[in-house]
Amino acid sequence: MDPSPLRCLLIARQGPGDRDDLTQDHLLELAELARSCGFDVHARRVLKRAEIASKTFYGSGQLQALAEEVTRQGVSHLICDDELRGSQVNAIEKLTGLICLDRTGLILSIFEQRAQTREAKAQVELARCEYELPRLKGAWTHLERQGGGVGLRGGPGETQIEVDRRMIRTRISQLKRELTHLEQVRETQRQGRPKGLPRVALVGYTNAGKTSLLKALTGEGEPRDLLFATLDTTTRKAWLGQEFDPETGETTLVPTHCLVADTVGFIRKLPHQLVAAFRSTLGEVRTADALLVVADAAHPDLEDHLKVVGATLREIGCEPEGIEAQPRLLVLNQVDRLHRPQKLDLKKRHPGAVQACAVDGAGVDEIRLWLRELIPGPPGPRILEDWELPEPTAAP
Ligand SMILES: Nc1nc2c(ncn2[C@@H]2O[C@H](COP(=O)(O)OP(=O)(O)OP(=O)(O)O)[C@@H](O)[C@H]2O)c(=O)[nH]1
Ligand SMILES: [Mg+2]
């Protein structure tokens, strides 16, 4: 029998300039992440604070009161939406008696649970090492204090930190070497793929339906209602189509194909350590001939999700315009969950997008048609949408 899941409390800080609805949305997403990691979410709380408390981030009074309340209800973990320093995590754990995880730590734990292949495992371990390295100091301050107080070096704590840091740095170098080797293997595989077939990457926010669309296009893939279900890139061949001849009324199969790669999903504040560590996997996106940007059109935060996707694509080196720009098709998936007026409104906001449902196949032919047009060569320039461009910087 599975052990009962660990129970957690989720918290987020809301500063004076933060919108209520956004803070709530972010906590809802954190709850999804926690469930995807196997936690039972006991409650979500917003802590309103004008200032960040440097020692405990949220302030000790509020944290202590919360901890007293939830510990009686069997809560063992406190998960924070904010990125915390190692010393803050330690101070919170000491104060509350709860195990504390920040958003990045939670996402890393999910990736650790999901990683299957050698490459994914090495990438996730590299991200974990990079995340832990600057946090080591916090973990050893109690020993540092034993070692002779402020200003003195060489106490037992200091030595232990140095040993741990050296071990982590050595591991980071080993992992980087291993990943460079695996990247070369991947590159060789890429070159060995059939020539002349366009390579298309499915990208988008996590849980938008990328794997479902891979399945709709190629017949393969295992969609799951989980955040970060896909970590490894899978490339499959898609059959691009049938041609209907209105004169004879016959439908013939057109012998054209393309290669479609399913990739790891994006999320708001995707830890930069993970983006860096997944460089090789995301190389499939950078080197693709075209991108299918998949979004969950029924999600209340659709526009924010698109902005995150636009920014993450730029972070990994895919610019929307310029000589290197890849053609992109926005696929507004899951429209089966929308009513007609919502679809019309979407059409106005995203006129160039295909509205699709990867589950019943609606819109998939339109996507195939777009993919077929890639075969003679890339399509001409198109008008960019707001989500693809950087936010304008505010005037000073
Ligand atoms: N109603 C509906 N559900 C869909 C549609 N497309 C996908 N889903 C569901 O959405 C969930 C996530 O689908 P996936 O295809 O695994 O999503 P993904 O983008 O690959 O997610 P990650 O790999 O976790 O980033 C699954 O439960 C799918 O069945 C759709 O068009 N309509
Ligand atoms: Mg997937």
Stated as kind and residue range, the H or E segment containing 201 is: strand 199-204
Q: Kindly report the protein residue whose alpha carbon is nearest to atom 3 of ligand 1.
A: 334
Ligand 1 centroid – CA 36 distance (Å): 14
Cβ-based neighbour number of residue 272 at 10 Å: 13
Q: Is the minimum distance from the CB of 310 to ligand 1 under 6 angstroms?
A: no
The domain limits of the chain are: 7-110, 115-177, 196-383
Q: Kindly report the protein residue whose alpha carbon is nearest to atom 30 of ligand 1.
A: 334
Provide the pLDDT confidence category of residue 379 given band limits of 50, 70 and 90.
Answer: low
Report in angstroms the alpha-carbon separations of 186 from 178, 183, 254.
Answer: 12, 5, 30
Alpha-carbon gap, residue 239 to 252, rounded angstroms: 13
Alpha-carbon gap, residue 367 to 365, rounded angstroms: 5
Weakest mean pLDDT among 22-31, 79-88, 166-175, 247-256: 247-256
Q: Is the minimum distance from the CB of 207 to ligand 1 under 6 angstroms?
A: yes
Four-point Cα dihedral 94, 273, 309, 396, nearest 10:
80
First to last CA, the chain: 60
Kindly provide the b/e burial profile for residues 376-389, where b requires at least 16 CB atoms within 10 angstroms of the residue's own CB. Answer: eeeeeeeeebebbe
What is the pLDDT averaged over residues 224-250? 82
Q: Give the pTM.
A: 0.85
All residues at 6 or more sequence positions from 290 whose CB lies less than 8 Å from its CB, including other chains:
198, 199, 200, 201, 326, 327, 328, 329, 371, 374, 378
Provide the pLDDT confidence category of residue 349 given band limits of 50, 70 and 90.
Answer: very high
Provide the pLDDT confidence category of residue 156 given band limits of 50, 70 and 90.
Answer: low
What is the pLDDT averaged over residues 228-255? 77
Q: Is the pLDDT of residue 163 over 80?
A: yes
Q: Is the minimum distance from the CB of 334 to ligand 1 under 6 angstroms?
A: yes
Q: Is the minimum distance from the CB of 271 to ligand 1 under 6 angstroms?
A: no
Are the C-beta atoms of residues 75 and 42 closer than 8 Å to each other?
yes
What is the pLDDT averaged over residues 255-282? 87
Ligand 2 centroid – CA 396 distance (Å): 41
Are the C-beta atoms of residues 218 and 367 closer than 8 Å to each other?
no
Alpha-carbon gap, residue 255 to 240, rounded angstroms: 8
Between 157 and 187, residue with greater pLDDT: 187
Alpha-carbon gap, residue 349 to 351, rounded angstroms: 6
All residues at 6 or more sequence positions from 95 whose CB lies less than 8 Å from its CB, including other chains:
56, 60, 63, 64, 67
Q: What is the pLDDT of residue 155?
A: 53
Provide the pLDDT confidence category of residue 395 given band limits of 50, 70 and 90.
Answer: low
Q: Which ligand is nearest to the CA of 360?
A: 1
Q: Which ligand is nearest to the CA of 210?
A: 1
Between 100 and 140, residue with greater pLDDT: 100
Return the percentage of the chain with pLDDT > 90, whole number. 65
Q: Is the pLDDT of residue 164 over 80?
A: yes
Same fold, 7-110 and 196-383: yes
The pLDDT tens digits of the residues spanning 101-120 come to 999 999 999 999 999 889 99
Q: Which ligand is nearest to the CA of 204?
A: 1
Q: Is 325 exposed, middle or buried (0-12, 13-18, 19+ CB in 10 A)?
A: middle
Weakest mean pLDDT among 188-197, 206-215, 274-283, 358-367: 188-197
Q: Is the pLDDT of residue 146 over 50?
A: no
Q: Kindly report the protein residue whose alpha carbon is nearest to atom 27 of ligand 1.
A: 225
Alpha-carbon gap, residue 261 to 248, rounded angstroms: 36
Ligand 2 centroid – CA 56 distance (Å): 36
Q: Kindly report the protein residue whose alpha carbon is nearest to atom 11 of ligand 1.
A: 225
Which residues are bridge partners to 396 per DSSP? none
Q: Is the minimum distance from the CB of 355 to ligand 1 under 6 angstroms?
A: no
Q: What is the pLDDT of residue 15?
A: 93
Alpha-carbon gap, residue 383 to 156, rounded angstroms: 62
CATH match of 196-383 with 3.40.50.300:
yes
Q: Is the pLDDT of residue 152 over 60?
A: no
Q: Is the minimum distance from the CB of 305 to ligand 1 under 6 angstroms?
A: no
Tokens of 395: 């005037």
Q: Is the pLDDT of residue 251 over 70?
A: no
Tokens of 286: 């950078």
Ligand 1 centroid – CA 221 distance (Å): 11
Average pLDDT, the chain: 88
What is the pLDDT averaged over residues 137-164? 55
Indicate the CATH number of 7-110 among 3.90.1150.10, 3.40.50.920, 3.40.720.10, 3.40.50.11060: 3.40.50.11060
Alpha-carbon gap, residue 357 to 294, rounded angstroms: 11
Between 374 and 108, residue with greater pLDDT: 108
Q: What is the pLDDT of residue 356?
A: 98
All residues at 6 or more sequence positions from 123 whose CB lies less than 8 Å from its CB, including other chains:
115, 179, 274, 277, 278, 280, 281
Q: What is the pLDDT of residue 255?
A: 58
Ligand 1 centroid – CA 222 distance (Å): 9
